[in-house]
Amino acid sequence: MEAQSNTAKLRVEGLHLSFGGVAALSDVSFEIKEKEILAIIGPNGAGKTSVLNCITGFYRTQRGDIYFEGKRITNLRPHKIVSLGITRTFQNIELFTGLTALENLMAGRHIHMRHGSIAGSLFFGKARNEEVKHREIVEDIVELLEMEEIRQKVVGSLPYGQRKRVDLGRALALEPKLLLLDEPMAGMNVEEKEDMARFILDIHELKGIPILLIEHDMGVVMDIADKIIVLDFGEKIADGVPQEIKVDSKVISAYLGS
C-alpha cells in the first residue's frame, strides 16, 4: 500500500471509561492518519464499540482526550461531532425501517440542508435547487454501493445484508471526513462480506476518507487494514501492521486463551 500521510486525523490519548466499578477502557491511546484504514480488534467485551461511542459522544469519558483535526472534541454532544465530519455505522442497524432506502439516505443529508420548512414544503426556488443537489449526491452513493435495485424499497422489507449497505450509504450521505464502521460485516454471508470489503476499499480510495473499522472477521481485517490495534479487557495490548499482529503472542493468547 502507498505510504501514509504523517498527519493525524484523529488522536485518542489515555482514554478511561468505567461503568460503576467496571473498567470498560483503561488508558487507551492511538491515532488514525489522513489516508489510513485502522482496524480495532479484540474478543467480545474488549471495549471496541466503547471506543467508537466515546469518539462520537454517546459515552462521556472519565479521563483522557480525543482530538479531531487538531481540535479537542472530548465529550462533545453527538450532533456537534457529526457536524465536524465524523460519521458512523452501527453494530445494531439504526435505520428508519418505514422509509425507503433512498429516503434513509436523504435523511443523512439533513445537516447540509439550509432551506426552511416552508420553502421546502412549497418546493420552489432555492429550496428546489438545493433538493436537486442533495438528490444528485445521494444517487452517486446509490451507484457506488450498487443499490439501484433496492433504492425505492422499504428498508424494513430488506434482508439484513442490504440493510447494512443502506446504513453505510446513510453515513456517506453526511459527507464524512472520518468514517467509523462498527462491525459492518456482522451477520453477512461470504458473498455479502466480499461486496462490503470492496465498498470499503472503494470509499477509501475514491473519496480519500480515513476509516476506523471494528470487525471480527480476521481475514477481512488482515486484507484491508493498514494498521491494527488490539484491545483486551479494555486495554490496548498490541498495535502494528497486519503482518506483526498476526504473530503477536499477546494477541494469540487473547483470542485463543492460551
What are the pLDDT digits (tens) for 168-179?
A: 999 999 999 999
Q: CA–CA separation, 253 vs 52, rounded Å?
A: 24
pLDDT at 133: 83
Query: Do the beta carbons of residue 213 and residue 200 sit within 8 Å?
Result: yes
Which cell goes with 23?
473498567
pLDDT at 107: 87
Which cell goes with 205?
480510495
Cβ neighbourhood burial of 44 (10 Å; 0-12, 13-18, 19+): exposed
Q: Are strands 63-68 and 8-19 parallel, antiparallel or unpaired?
A: antiparallel
Q: CA–CA separation, 241 vs 155, rounded Å?
A: 37
**Is the pLDDT confidence value at 253 over 60?**
yes
- DSSP 8-class letter at 2: P
In CATH terms, is domain 86-175 a member of 3.40.50.300? Answer: yes
3 pLDDT band, cuts 50/70/90, is: very low
Angle in degrees, CA 121, 148, 146, rounded to 5 = 125
| Higher per-residue pLDDT: 254 or 52 | 52
pLDDT at 1: 42
**Is the pLDDT confidence value at 23 over 90?**
yes
What are the pLDDT digits (tens) for 182-241?
A: 999 988 899 999 999 999 999 999 999 999 999 988 889 999 999 999 999 999 999 999
- Contacting residues for 234 by C-beta, under 8 A, at least 6 apart: 17, 23, 24, 25, 26, 28, 46, 47, 50
Q: Which amino acid is at 123?
A: F
Q: What is the mean pLDDT of residues 28-52?
A: 94
**Is the pLDDT confidence value at 120 over 60?**
no
**Is the pLDDT confidence value at 94 over 80?**
yes
Q: Are strands 211-214 and 37-41 parallel, antiparallel or unpaired?
A: parallel
Q: What is the mean pLDDT of residues 57-68?
A: 96
Which cell goes with 257?
486463551
CATH topology of domain 1-85+177-258: Rossmann fold (3.40.50)
Average pLDDT of the chain is: 89
Residue (of 80, 114, 102, 181) closest to 149 by Cα position: 102
Instruction: Enumerate the domain spans of the chain.
Output: 1-85+177-258, 86-175
**Is the pLDDT confidence value at 114 over 80?**
no
Fold identical between 1-85+177-258 and 86-175? yes
Predicted TM-score of the model (pTM):
0.87
Q: CA–CA separation, 142 vs 146, rounded Å?
A: 6
